[in-house]
Structures are given as C-alpha cells and as structure tokens.
Chain A
Amino acid sequence: DSGVTQTPKHLITATGQRVTLRCSPRSGDLSVYWYQQSLDQGLQFLIQYYNGEERAKGNILERFSAQQFPDLHSELNLSSLELGDSALYFCASSVDPSGGLGGTYEQYFGPGTRLTVT
C-alpha cells in the first residue's frame, strides 16, 4: 500500500459525458501527479500540482482539467468523453521541495481508476 488513495476504482460511462476522478496523496506529500495509461500509449504524464499550484503540464487535452485543493487532495475532470479516453488513470504523490531538483523524490502511485467509455 503506497498511501495514495484514488476513487472510484472503476468507472463506466458513455461518450459525451463528464467524470471526476479523485486522489488523496500520502500524508505530508505536497506534489500530486496525474498519468494516463492506455494499451497503446504507455504511461503518459498529464499534469503536476504542487501545494495547490500547477507545476508542470504534459500532453493533457483541453477537455481535461485538474486542481489541487487546500487539503492537498486533487481531482481530475474529464469532459466530452470519447472512446479513446478509456484508460487507467493513475495519481502519484511525492515529497518535493520548491525546485524539485536533486534528491530522489520518488513518486508513489495510487491503485488507479479504470475508466471505460462506451
């Protein structure tokens, strides 16, 4: 158990709909990361938040957005869903000082949310 929790575990929804995935980081971790893993794309970085602020952005679609709340939990919102959005969505957290430079600061991954769009 990494200490990172994600809900829900599974989500089945229809095209065009909107869903919200939730993540609670390990106690004390200020950074939260979101990743998408599909069969043909591998693990793709979407976005990072550090202490409520957006820190880094990857290949995140405009239909997707995220935020980190004062209690440090994070939500990933996916809208206008398409069949191709079906994937495993992982959240990870790490200890990460302001610059993130040097040190291991390994990311601990949650169990993931499996999203199926039909």
Chain B
Amino acid sequence: GQNIDQPTEMTATEGAIVQINCTYQTSGFNGLFWYQQHAGEAPTFLSYNVLDGLEEKGRFSSFLSRSKGYSYLLLKELQMKDSASYLCAVREQKYGNKLVFGAGTILRVKS
C-alpha cells in the first residue's frame, strides 16, 4: 500500500516564497504529481516528477528525491489567488495510471 504525508495547513504572506513538503512510501513508484484545488472546485494539474531533481514551471517548481521518498512544491511570488489546497499524489507502477492522493495542504496567503 501507500502512505503519503503532507502538512495540513500553511500560511504565507503575499509576495513571499513557500515550500510544501510531501513524503511517501510506496511499493512501486511511477511518478509524483502535484495538483491545486480551490474549495469546491476540481483539482488542476500543476507538475509531474518521475526522475530526481527540480522541475520548474513559471512561479511553481517541484522537486523529487526517490531515494528519500520526498518531494516539495515551491511557490514563488505568492498571490492571493494561490490560496488553495495543494495535493500530492503518487502513481504506483503496477496499477496503470491510478493515483493515490495525500490529504492535501491548505495554503492561506495573507496580505
């Protein structure tokens, strides 16, 4: 089975940088995804890592260390609209494209 841990809540200031961590344990790893979800809305895809290292996409970056079972999502130049839940999800190799999601981290951006 899988176990995915991420902080429940975080608060940061507009314009700042915030890092959301995710640790996972899995019997077979085939990629890690980050999704953003505003309250009551659908999750939207942010990033994907399958190899170790940093993937940068505009204000968002995601890092993966497979040996440590660890990933983080880095959000720069925070904006009020970044207030949302951020979901870490792991894809297990033997289950096709099935994703197992963490409980999510609620990020509150304050002015």
Contacts and interface: CB of A to CB of B under 8 A. Distances in A.
Interface string B32-66: 01000000111111001010000000000000000
B97 A107 contact: yes
Contact of A109 (B43, B50, B103): B43
Contact of B93 (A33, A101, A111): A101
A43 B41 contact: no
Contacts of B41: 111-112
Q: How many A residues touch the partner, as a band?
A: 20 to 34
A69 B71 CA distance: 37
B30 interface: yes
Nearest to B4: A42
A115 B50 CA distance: 35
A97 B41 CA distance: 28
Interface residues of B, number: 23
A99 interface: yes
Nearest to B95: A56
A99 B94 CA distance: 9
Nearest to A6: B42
B103 to A, nearest CB: 4
B99 interface: yes
B104 A112 contact: no
A107 B45 contact: yes
B98 A56 contact: yes
A42 B104 contact: yes
A111 B42 contact: yes
Given A42-B103, A101-B30, A106-B48, A96 B42 contact: no
